[in-house]
């Protein structure tokens, strides 16, 4: 089960990377169209924003798996292994609590936008839930990865004992 969570988050991270790449091309196209040809698009910037948003939230679980989120590890090298493990579990449980809250409220917001038919009000008039749905989805994958990391840490499988906090 832990490997399945890792694999899904790895795939989502790859998708996120491609979304960032495509968004970069969209922004470049928009800049060239606007400032060189004086022909701005009505869709470039808005689609790029949507792709950047999805890319950001889809990659969170993978970043946790690789221990690439911001961490403060100043005292870690001076602690015994069992204290480091305890600190890691506590921090992961705090992440899980925050994640559950974001999933709960984010789902309500996205569902409300879907039910009410809210949209951006721009030229493309993209439904709001397209951008709001990624928040509970991304945080759900972060929660699953957090659970996997708690299990690994309790088993002693997680790499938490280096000097820099990089797993």
What confidence tens digit (pLDDT) does each residue in 71-96 have?
Answer: 887 888 888 988 889 989 999 999 99
Residue 160 resides in a domain: no
* Residue 78 DSSP class: G
Residue 161 resides in a domain: no
Residue 35 resides in a domain: yes
Which pLDDT tens digit goes with each residue over 27-36? 999 999 999 9
In contact, 149 and 66? CB cutoff 8 Å:
no
Q: What stretches in the chain show pLDDT beneath 70?
A: 159-167
Residue 129 resides in a domain: yes
Start-to-end Cα distance in the chain? 20
Residue 166 resides in a domain: no
Site of tokens 């925050």: 98
Domains held by the chain: number: 1
Residue 167 resides in a domain: no
In contact, 110 and 129? CB cutoff 8 Å:
yes
In contact, 149 and 65? CB cutoff 8 Å:
yes
pLDDT at 160: 58
Contacts of 41 (CB under 8 A, 6+ apart): 29, 30, 33
How would you classify residue 72: left for phi > 0, otherwise alpha for psi between -120 and 50, otherwise beta? Answer: beta
Domain range for 81 is 2-155
């Amino acid at each position: 089960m832990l490997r399945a969570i890792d694999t899904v988050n790895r795939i989502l991270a790859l998708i996120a990377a491609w979304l960032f790449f495509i968004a970069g091309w969209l922004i470049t196209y928009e800049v060239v169209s606007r400032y060189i040809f004086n022909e701005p698009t009505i869709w470039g910037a808005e689609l790029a924003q949507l792709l950047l948003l999805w890319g950001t939230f889809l990659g969170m679980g993978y970043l946790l798996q690789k221990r690439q989120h911001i961490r403060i590890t100043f005292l870690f090298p001076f602690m015994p292994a069992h204290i480091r493990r305890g600190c890691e579990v506590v921090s992961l449980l705090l992440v899980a609590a925050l994640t559950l809250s974001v999933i709960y409220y984010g789902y309500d917001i996205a569902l409300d936008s879907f039910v009410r038919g809210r949209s951006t009000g721009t030229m493309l008039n993209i439904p709001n839930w397209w951008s709001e749905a990624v928040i509970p989805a991304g945080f759900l994958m972060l929660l699953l990865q957090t659970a996997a990391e708690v299990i690994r840490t309790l088993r002693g499988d997680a790499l938490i004992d280096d000097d820099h906090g990089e797993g």
